[in-house]
């Protein structure tokens, strides 16, 4: 038996699997993002989560920081300006927002 999964449904399926398995919420990205920017984003998200205590507030704070700090990074593909929506707008919180 083979089923073709329409593009984009894999995010919903994986997130639902975590939620059904008992996770209260999942932070996921809607598109593929470079590893260095994802690592920086998630590190800041967890730091903000310790301070904010609400997942939605921590996510919003992290996105604002990526926009306002004008962070730049270099890797083997070139230089990135993390204030561009490509690097922060993809992250969504699914499930319990608190």
The answer as to whether 2 is a domain residue is: no
The answer as to whether 73 is a domain residue is: yes
Residue 5 near residue 13, CB atoms below 8 Å? yes
- Split into its structural domains, the chain has a count of 1
The answer as to whether 49 is a domain residue is: yes
Q: Give 87's contacts (C-beta < 8 A, 6+ positions apart).
A: 33, 34, 37, 41, 66, 80
The whole-model pTM stands at 0.77
The answer as to whether 23 is a domain residue is: yes
Q: What is the DSSP letter of 28?
A: E
The answer as to whether 3 is a domain residue is: no
Tens of pLDDT, residue by residue, the chain (98 residues): 445 555 555 556 788 888 888 889 999 999 999 888 899 899 999 999 999 889 999 999 999 999 997 666 666 666 778 889 999 999 999 999 88
> What are phi and psi for residue 17, nearest 5 degrees?
-60, -45
- Per the structure, the complete domain to which residue 30 belongs is given by 9-95
């Amino acid at each position: 038996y083979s089923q073709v999964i329409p593009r984009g449904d894999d995010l919903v399926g994986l997130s639902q699997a975590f939620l059904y398995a008992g996770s209260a919420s999942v932070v996921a990205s809607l598109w593929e993002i470079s590893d260095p920017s994802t690592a920086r984003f998630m590190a800041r998200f967890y730091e903000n989560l310790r301070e904010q205590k609400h997942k939605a507030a921590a996510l919003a704070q992290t996105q604002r920081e990526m926009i306002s700090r004008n962070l730049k990074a270099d890797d083997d593909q070139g230089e990135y300006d993390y204030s561009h929506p490509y690097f922060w707008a993809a992250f969504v919180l699914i499930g319990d927002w608190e």
